[in-house]
Amino acid sequence: MADTGSLSVSIENKIATITFEHPASNSFPSELLQKLTAELNAVSSKPEVTIVILQSTGKTFCAGASFDELLSITNFENGKKFFSGFADVINAMRNCSKIIIGKVQGKAVGGGVGLISACDYAYAHNNAAIKLSEIAIGIGPFVIEPAVSRKIGKTAMSEMTLQPAIWQTADWAKEKGLYAELFENQEKLDSATANLAEKLASYNPEALSEIKKVLWEGTEHWNELLYQRAAISGKLVLSDFTKQALSQFKK
């Protein structure tokens, strides 16, 4: 049976810390995407939570979509359903009534960049480079594009998309607005994230909830848009080009 990874949530002093992990560089199979969506929806309605920290374990923050699952997709409906998992997570993040802080300890690819972009604020390690490799395997970052473009702009998004083999440095990502601040080691990243979360958690939760709505104004159409995008990816993942490219990448 395929490893679906794990997700844990701890709540302390008004801060909910959601931690995801998967042995394949914290990539996301469908089941893990569903768990993350469910937890985000759950913490959104908890009055004892004011702030959410989203983090992963290990050296890589997130490798995006599970290659094993991408290779197993055999029809359009399954393809659309899989990519809709990323749409569900991004919509859950933007609709969440709590401010979400991303703690990015390592590299992020594809859907992982989408997750960071959907955080309201993100701190990162100096080594937290980013890459959008989708176009190289015959698909594209369609579902996450609105979130990434909203955060770093369409020009930077285009640069990443059309240079799928190039890692953009954490400094580049900070300059473009993806990261608020960079830290030279894990200890400083942990400490700064905890301090920020504690400070925010001391503020009026109603004010934070209202400012969250303001931050995401103009994205209401994502409830339809992201699923339209999932359909594009669901179709493209069935192409011979993509099947061959995925097999090569896996090797």
Q: What is the pLDDT of residue 67?
A: 86
pLDDT tier at 248, thresholds 50, 70, 90: confident
Cα–Cα–Cα angle for 70, 74, 76, rounded to 5 degrees: 95
Query: What is the CB neighbour count within 10 angstroms for residue 94?
Result: 23
- Return the DSSP state at 1: -
Residue 80 has what pLDDT? 97
The more confident residue out of 1 and 196 is 196
Computed on alpha carbons and rounded to an integer, the radius of gyration of the chain in Å comes to: 17
* CA pair distance 104, 129, nearest whole angstrom: 10
d(CA 173, CA 194): 22
Kindly indicate the confidence band of residue 124, based on its pLDDT and cuts at 50, 70 and 90. very high
Summarize pLDDT for 232-245 with one digit per residue, the tens: 999 999 999 998 88
Domains in the chain: boundaries: 6-201
C-alpha angle with apex 156: 116 to 90, nearest 5 degrees? 30
Predicted TM-score of the model (pTM): 0.96
Alpha-carbon span 143 to 179, nearest angstrom: 21
Q: Over the stretch 111-121, which tens digit does the pLDDT of each residue have?
A: 999 999 999 99
Q: How many Cα atoms within 13 Å fall on the side-chain side of residue 170?
A: 20
For residues 54 and 15, is the Cβ–Cβ distance under 8 A?
no
CA angle 213, 214, 218 (to 5 degrees): 90
176-224 per-position pLDDT tens digit: 999 999 999 999 999 999 999 999 999 999 999 999 999 999 999 999 9
Is beta strand 6-12 parallel, antiparallel or unpaired with respect to 15-21? antiparallel
Q: What are phi and psi of 127, to 5 degrees?
A: -90, 5
Q: What is the pLDDT of residues 18-64, one digit of tens each?
A: 999 999 999 999 999 999 999 999 999 999 999 999 999 999 999 99
Asked if residue 125 has pLDDT above 70, the reply is: yes
- Residues of the chain with pLDDT > 90: what percent? 93
What CATH number belongs to 6-201?
3.90.226.10
